[in-house]
Structure 1
């Protein structure tokens, strides 16, 4: 009896990211989305995202620079997208909203798709009603105008990006990079996002928010006064770290250190330490097969119970569940390689 050839299986569909551009789009924001999602690769080297640029009408779209871009796709892509990103448009977000058809176009986005804005692209999301009752941010220079126009939105102008359900917003241009890395981290874990950050030579996670970039009425002396203390803390995350220890490495009083630390990072020393310890724990859970208790000790949580408590509060999952989703340690890789192929 002739043997039957195994049935061919179609490769899984890539996560589709649609970038909706408008007249006056900022090239940096558009390019960042393509660059960051475009370099994400799976274990087999295959691309994990498909990024397509679309506009209300395909064709030539002017940017806010001295050149235009040729957009090949129309709004039909929005109905297929898993993630929709709306970059800023100076031509429309700075008072020209009467000609913006983006709110109507966003109505075709699937209910389960993510929608994100960069910089003043939040104005388009707000006009579409997507930010009503949600946390959001935009460029700090536009915060007052945004509040007046959309009082129903819970605006947080001091952060780099926000996440509220399926809707995401980010602050000024470069904060779009932070948001894209966050989306990649949410989809594929910290190790993949860190690899993307290394490839594009950007920090995988920036401290603080955009409050550190807002002009102060009376400028204080510039300089990184707490950088040495932060570097020392990162090298000793597995040890108990007191505020006095950090202040001593900055050669200042605890009161002055706390004030400078918040000014430079946007966070209190305690909140920053917790953030760094969670990042260390996530990395260890992904890259190693260390027991949860050992991960907790190396990340500075002391016990597995403490790590589980902080993980549940910050991420909504247990360390074991996180590892099951994002683990890439030796045991996980061997299990993946040994898994039988589905005929």
Structure 2
């Protein structure tokens, strides 16, 4: 059986480079563990010419379509010459992929039954994602996302928050097609093991993209209240992944005021390195983190809200920096995140469980 793995562009400063390195092997091991000894993972890359990132996103909106279009050319050729076999599975690492419609079209009309499993990161259904924020007429984007949903056999979401948001905004109710699963990031704990135990310094990190929904201006303002600490915005430097992880290991706090978040990978990476997450009680954070690590959402729900509650945010951050968070709290939070949100057991179980198409 073939697993056709359509990857995301591998960016050094995002998790996608690590997926390129680790995901094929994780899929092969998961298949063997579930009794599939004949699985072949076929990685479908795209036009990987270096691209300039669009401001506010980690993908260039034109280059990512070139990448995805070249992927579907490869897949179409595989259908055309008979390499795609009945029973093959497609793993689409970014569900917002026009090629999903084309795969379903070819599979149905060429009578080659396959399964499509896709991971939803965001889309126009999320009002703070760039698609939700910048697309004025969402009739086309919402209709497209509903079409994707029904073309995909297993729609994978990392958190219940995003499942509920997706269903409510798009009006879909077929729970048989929805799977809440951790993301396939089992490699992170081992990768970051070498960075544990590094000496901490008075460093606070903003590890997110430079985009409006991440509210970096709040972080910059907070820096003025802590002149004896270094406040660093990671994406202002062209850090290698190793350099980034070294900063996480040295930092005391990873800070968020995000208005949009799929999973908050960087906060988990910080936890693995012994940094304390300071994040708002909203979005996926609410179901992922203990309340002791979250501050009231109202404090940073907008720039104006922050200005109103600035003293409270400063006090909370100051308390975290002055009073070390219990190792038990951090260890318990890390273990739960690892087990429920950064281990893709449910995904592997569905991918390698024999069943008829929904």
Give the TM-score, by structure 1 length: 0.34
Give the TM-score, by structure 2 length: 0.33
| Structure possessing the higher relative contact order (Cα contacts under 8 Å, 6 or more residues apart) | 2
